[in-house]
């Protein structure tokens, strides 16, 4: 067996000493509690994995590689739609502003 040390709040340590008569009993109780915790933790991980698997099967979760591929496809489509004339029109509109765009937006909103 391996020995481990734990730190407990004083009040809890005192209550444990009152309730548990020997170190062997304390060791058994702590071992059982840790075993129980590990089982619960494993169950939670298993539940999480099952849920993720179900979401993937339903197509609600995609891998990062698939997300990246979809983003690239969308960006490619958008960049093909934007022509140099569109960019020139936007630049021309911005150059007509007498104040920075942020100030123009505040004026349009009616903010001071």
- The predicted model gives 97-111 an average pLDDT of 77
Helix ranges restricted to H, the chain: 10-19, 23-57, 64-81, 84-95, 101-109
Letter string b/e over residues 62-75, b meaning 16 or more CB atoms within 10 A of that residue's CB: eeeeeeeeeeeeee
Lowest mean pLDDT among 38-42, 49-53, 90-94: 90-94
Q: What's the CA gap between 20 and 4, in Å, rounded?
A: 18
pLDDT at 100: 76
- The predicted model gives 52-72 an average pLDDT of 80
pLDDT at 32 over 90: yes
Encoding tokens for residue 58? 């339903």
Indicate if the alpha-carbon torsion angle 83, 85, 86, 87 is positive or negative.
Answer: positive
Phi-psi region of 59 (alpha: psi -120 to 50; beta: other; left: phi over 0): left
């Amino acid at each position: 067996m391996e020995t481990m040390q734990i730190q407990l709040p004083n009040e809890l340590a005192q209550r444990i000493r009152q309730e548990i008569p020997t170190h062997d009993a304390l060791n058994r109780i702590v071992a059982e509690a840790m075993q129980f915790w590990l089982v619960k933790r494993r169950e939670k991980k298993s539940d999480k994995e099952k849920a993720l698997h179900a979401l993937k099967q339903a197509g609600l979760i995609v891998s990062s590689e698939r997300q990246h591929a979809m983003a690239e496809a969308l960006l490619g489509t958008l960049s093909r739609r934007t022509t140099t004339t569109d960019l020139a029109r936007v630049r021309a509109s911005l150059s007509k502003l007498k104040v920075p765009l942020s100030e123009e937006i505040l004026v349009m909103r009616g903010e001071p």
